[in-house]
Amino acid sequence: MVQRNLAQRSDPDSWAGEIARARERLAVHLTKTPLVESDFLSRELGRPVLLKLESMQPIGAFKVRAALNSILTHLDECRSTGVVTNSSGNFAQAVAYAATRLGVESTIVMMRGASAFKRRRTEAFGGNVVLCEDSFEARFAATERIRVETGLRLLHPYNSPETIAGNGTLGLELLEQVSSAFDLYVPISGGGLIAGTTLAVKAGRPECSVFGVQSEANPSMKLSLEAGRPVRTAPAPSLADALTVLEPGSQTFPVVQEHVESVELVSEEGMASAVRLLAVEQKLVVEPGAAVSVAAALAAPRGRDRPLVCVLSGGNIAPESLRELLAAGS
Amino acid sequence: MVQRNLAQRSDPDSWAGEIARARERLAVHLTKTPLVESDFLSRELGRPVLLKLESMQPIGAFKVRAALNSILTHLDECRSTGVVTNSSGNFAQAVAYAATRLGVESTIVMMRGASAFKRRRTEAFGGNVVLCEDSFEARFAATERIRVETGLRLLHPYNSPETIAGNGTLGLELLEQVSSAFDLYVPISGGGLIAGTTLAVKAGRPECSVFGVQSEANPSMKLSLEAGRPVRTAPAPSLADALTVLEPGSQTFPVVQEHVESVELVSEEGMASAVRLLAVEQKLVVEPGAAVSVAAALAAPRGRDRPLVCVLSGGNIAPESLRELLAAGS
C-alpha cells in the first residue's frame, strides 16, 4: 500500500476503500455493537439520544477494532515476529486479545503505576507485560529499545493508517444504524477514534456533525487546534485515565482540524456524574473516559432536533472506582 | 376475544396470533432490545453465550412489554377509567411509564417496605403510589378495594393473556436474532416472562430448550412442578426481590409444566457473584433477579454446543446494593 503524504491525508473519500477493507477483515472477529436509544437522556435533552455500546466489545472497549486491523493487515509478518506496543490501558488489552486470537505473540510496555485492574486484564488476555518507569518518555524509550533489539512489529495505539481505518468501521456501523443526519460526540485521546469515525461518517453522510470531547485536565487536542498544530502538553491526573496523552497524532490531528465542529471539555465532576447516571438510569458500566461523551451532550446547547449519538468507547473501570463514584452520588 | 379454558391453554400455536398482535401494538413504542455475545462467558462455557438486554428497555426491565400490551389492548377503557396494579418492583415502574405515555392515569399499590429506589422511580414515571402493609395479602386486599371503589381497570403483573402475549414479543425477537436452535435461561417469578417467551419460541422453533431459574429462597415454581399444581409458599428474603411471589399464575403454570425442561435454583452467593461478573466483565448493571439466568448457566452441565441465551430481565438495582455487591468481590 502506498502511503503518500500521510500527515495531510484528511479527505474522507480517500479513506473509504481502506475503511471498507478493514471492515471485511474484522467481519469474522467482531459483531456490530448495539446502538440503543436512552429513554432517560432523550427526555432530558428533548431529542433522540443514542448510545453506541463499544463497552460490549470483547475487551470492553473500541480499541479491539484497531488492534485486530493492525495485526490482520500484516498477519504473516506479525506471526513470524510478534508485536509490541506501549499502552497502559485499553489498547494494551486489545492488542493482547487480538494477538492471542490470531496466534501472534504480544509484548505490552506499561508504566509501573498503571492500573492493576488493566494490567491483570492484559495478562489474562495473553499479553506479555513489560513494566517501565512512570513517564510517557520512558514508555516510548522502552518500547523502541524492545522493538530494535527483538524485531517485534510496533503497533501504534492511535497514529497509524491501520488504527484509523480500524476505528473507521465504527462510523460505517453508525451510518447503517441511524437513517438520517446526526450529531456525534466522540471522546478524544490521541485522536485515533475520532479520526477514523469522522472519516467514515463524513464520507457517507457529510451533513453529520462531529464533536470531540476531552477532559479539562488533559485538553491536548483543544490546545493543538488553537495552536494550529499538534502541541505537547504535560499529562495531568484525571478520572479519565484513558484520555491522557502527550500530544495528538500527526495523522489524526489534520482530520480533526478539518472535519470536527469543536472540542468540548468536561470537568472531573461532570464525568463522575455521567458515570453514575449511566449506571443508575441506563444500566451500563462505562469508564470515565467514555462517559465524557454523555457529559458533553448534557451540557450542549438545546434547540437542535436531529438525533444525538454518544460513543461509549469503553467500560474498563476498576470495581473499586465504580463503587466510589456510585457512593459520591448518594 | 373468547377466553375459553384459559388455565389449560398451553399450546404454543394457539398463542401465535395474540403474540403477533402484541408485537404490532408495541412496535411504535419499543425497539428490539440488543442480543450481545459475551466473549467472557462464551470462553467460560465453551459455547456461544448470548445476553438478551432487557435492562435496556425504557424502565430498565422487560415488564414494559406486558404493561404496554395490557393497556393498549383496552386503551379506550383504560383512558376513561385509569388503571390499578399491585407491584413493588419493575411492574410498578412499567405500568407508570406505559400509562403516562398513553395518557392513562395509573395507581400502584406498594408495600410500605418496598425499596425506596423503586418507589421513587415509579413516581418519577408518573404513577400514583398507594402504600399498604408489608404482606402480599394486604397488597391484594388494598388493590381489590381500590378497584371496586374507583372502577379502575386492574392490570395483573403476570397472570393474564395480555401480559403473557406482551412478554411473548421477547421470544419473537430471539427467533430473529438467533438463527439456529438454542438453550434459553429465563428467570421466574410469577411465570409471566417464561410463559410468554416459551410460547413464542416453541411455536417458532420447537427444538429450542427452555430452562427456568429461581432463587433457592423462593422456589415457588419448582415446588409447584413437584406438586403438579400451583402451590403457595411463604416469601423469604432474598437479594432477588424481583423473584419473590406467593405462587405461580394459574395461566403461566401449565405452560411451564408442559414446555420447560427444568427449573434451576440459584443461591444468594451465586446471584451476587453473577451481578459482579456482569458488571466487571460485561459492563452491564443487572439486578440479582435477572443475573440468576447467568448464575444458572454457569452451573449448567458442560458438553452442549448450541448457543445459550440468558435473559437479563432487568437492571433496577439500587446504587447502594450494587456498591455492596461490588465490594464483596474484592
Closest CB to A283 among B60, B280, B329: B60
Closest CB to A283 among B39, B284, B320: B284
For cell 396470533, what's the residue?
B17
pLDDT per residue of chain A (330 residues) written in tens, 0 to 9? 444 454 458 999 999 999 999 999 999 999 999 999 999 999 999 999 999 999 999 999 999 999 999 999 999 999 999 999 998 789 999 999 999 999 999 999 999 988 888 899 999 999 999 999 999 899 999 999 999 999 999 999 999 999 999 999 999 999 999 999 999 999 999 999 999 999 999 999 999 999 999 999 999 999 999 999 999 999 899 999 889 888 999 999 999 999 999 999 999 999 999 999 999 999 999 999 999 999 999 999 999 999 999 999 999 999 999 999 999 875
Across B42-166, the runs of DSSP E, i.e. the strands, are 49-53, 83-86, 106-111, 128-132, 153-154
Q: Is the pLDDT of residue B102 over 90?
A: yes
Q: In Å, what is the CA distance from A252 to each residue of A208, A241, A286, B58? A: 19, 20, 24, 37
What are the pLDDT digits (tens) for B1-12? Answer: 444 454 458 999
Residues of B within 8 A of A56 (CB-CB) are 34, 36, 282-283
Residues of A within 8 A of B59 (CB-CB) are 39
Q: What residues does B111 pair with on adjacent strands? A: B132
Distance CA A160, CA A170 (A): 16
Looking at residue A330, its pLDDT comes to: 55
The residue among B203, B115, B122 whose CA lies nearest residue B165 is B203
Comparing B329 with A231, which gets the higher pLDDT? Answer: A231
In Å, how far is A235's CA from the nearest CA of chain B?
A: 27
H helix intervals, B183-307: 192-204, 220-227, 253-259, 268-280, 288-299
* DSSP code per residue over B116-136: HHHHHHHHHTT-EEEEE-SSH
Residues of B within 8 A of A37 (CB-CB) are 31
Burial A188-220 (b: 16+ CB within 10 A, else e): bbbbbbbbbbbbbbbbbbeebbbbbbbbbbbbb
Length of chain A as a residue count: 330
In Å, how far is A119's CA from the nearest CA of chain B?
A: 14
Distance CA B268, CA A184 (A): 42
A120 touches chain B (CB under 8 A): no
Q: Is the pLDDT of residue B313 over 70?
A: yes
Q: In what order do the strands lie in the sheet with A262-266?
A: A35-37, A49-53, A308-312, A183-187, A209-215, A262-266
A330 touches chain B (CB under 8 A): yes
The residue among B313, B307, B264 whose CA lies nearest residue B291 is B313
Check A36 against B36: CB less than 8 A apart.
no
Distance from chain centroid for Cα B240: 12
Distance CA B233, CA B109 (A): 21
In Å, how far is B145's CA from the nearest CA of chain A?
A: 34
Closest CB to B323 among A34, A285, A326: A326
Closest CB to B327 among A31, A282, A323: A323
Check B31 against A37: CB less than 8 A apart.
yes
Alpha-carbon Rg for chain A in angstroms: 18
Closest CB to A283 among B39, B56, B330: B56
Give the up-direction half-sphere exposure of residue A314: CA atoms within 13 A in the CB hemisphere: 27
Looking at residue B330, its pLDDT comes to: 55
* pTM of the shown model: 0.95
In Å, how far is A27's CA from the nearest CA of chain B?
A: 14
In Å, how far is A13's CA from the nearest CA of chain B?
A: 32
What are the pLDDT digits (tens) for B190-203? Answer: 999 999 999 999 99
Distance CA B126, CA B95 (A): 9
Q: In what order do the strands lie in the sheet with A106-111?
A: A128-132, A106-111, A83-86, A153-154
Closest CB to B283 among A31, A60, A281: A60
Give the up-direction half-sphere exposure of residue A216: CA atoms within 13 A in the CB hemisphere: 8
In Å, how far is B59's CA from the nearest CA of chain A?
A: 8
B330 touches chain A (CB under 8 A): yes
Q: What residues does A52 pair with on adjacent strands? A: A35, A311
**Angle (CA) B128 B133 B134, round 5°:** 105
Confidence of residue B89 (pLDDT cuts 50, 70, 90): confident
Looking at residue A67, its pLDDT comes to: 98
A280 touches chain B (CB under 8 A): yes
Check B284 against A285: CB less than 8 A apart.
yes
A242 touches chain B (CB under 8 A): no
Neighbours of A321 (CB within 10 A): 18
Check B283 against A286: CB less than 8 A apart.
yes
In Å, how far is A43's CA from the nearest CA of chain B?
A: 11
Residues of B within 8 A of A289 (CB-CB) are none
In Å, how far is A321's CA from the nearest CA of chain B?
A: 10
B172: exposed, middle or buried (Cβ count in 10 Å: 0-12, 13-18, 19+):
buried
The residue among B162, B185, B143, B197 whose CA lies nearest residue B49 is B185
Phi/psi of residue B109, each to 5°?
Answer: -90, 120
In Å, how far is A42's CA from the nearest CA of chain B?
A: 10
How many Cβ contacts (< 8 angstroms) between chains A and B?
Answer: 74
Distance CA B274, CA A57 (A): 19
CB contact set of A301 (below 8 Å; sequence gap of 6+): none
Check B34 against A55: CB less than 8 A apart.
no
Q: In Å, what is the CA distance from A210 to each residue of A89, A165, B104? A: 25, 17, 40
Residues of B within 8 A of A30 (CB-CB) are none
Are A175 and A204 in contact by the 8 Å Cβ rule? The answer is yes
Hey, what's the torsion of the CAs at A32, A33, A39, A43, to 10 degrees? -90
Hey, what's the torsion of the CAs at B165, B168, B170, B176, to 10 degrees? -120
A284 touches chain B (CB under 8 A): yes
The cell for B326 is 461490588
Q: What residues does A23 pair with on adjacent strands? A: none
Residues of B within 8 A of A283 (CB-CB) are 55-56, 60, 284-286, 315-316
Closest CB to A326 among B36, B315, B319: B319
CB contact set of B234 (below 8 Å; sequence gap of 6+): none
In Å, how far is B304's CA from the nearest CA of chain A?
A: 22
Distance CA B87, CA B115 (A): 11
Angle of helix A90-101 versus helix A63-73 axis, rounded to 10 = 40
B112: exposed, middle or buried (Cβ count in 10 Å: 0-12, 13-18, 19+):
exposed
Angle of helix B288-299 versus helix B268-280 axis, rounded to 10 = 100
Burial A149-168 (b: 16+ CB within 10 A, else e): eeebbebbbbbbbbbbbbbb
Angle of helix A12-26 versus helix A63-73 axis, rounded to 10 = 90
Q: Is the pLDDT of residue B314 over 50?
A: yes
The cell for A120 is 491483570
Which of A49, A283, A285, A313 is most worth mutating to test chain B (most B CB atoms within 10 A of its CB)? Answer: A283
B286 touches chain A (CB under 8 A): yes
B60 touches chain A (CB under 8 A): yes
Which of B283, B284, B285 is most worth mutating to test chain A (most A CB atoms within 10 A of its CB)? Answer: B283
Looking at residue A3, its pLDDT comes to: 45
Check A320 against B330: CB less than 8 A apart.
yes
Distance CA B161, CA B158 (A): 9
Hey, what's the torsion of the CAs at B223, B225, B231, B237, to 10 degrees? 40
Check B284 against A279: CB less than 8 A apart.
no
Q: What residues does A214 pair with on adjacent strands? A: A265
Closest CB to A34 among B36, B316, B330: B36
B299 touches chain A (CB under 8 A): no
Neighbours of B11 (CB within 10 A): 15
What are the pLDDT digits (tens) for B206-229? Answer: 999 999 999 999 999 999 999 999
A320 touches chain B (CB under 8 A): yes
Distance CA A230, CA A223 (A): 8
Look at phi and psi of residue B60 and say left if phi exceeds 0, alpha if psi is from -120 to 50, else beta.
left
Looking at residue A4, its pLDDT comes to: 45
Are B186 and B210 in contact by the 8 Å Cβ rule? The answer is yes
* DSSP code per residue over A159-213: SSHHHHHHHHHHHHHHHHH--S--EEEEE-SSSHHHHHHHHHHHHH-TT-EEEEE
In Å, how far is A205's CA from the nearest CA of chain B?
A: 24
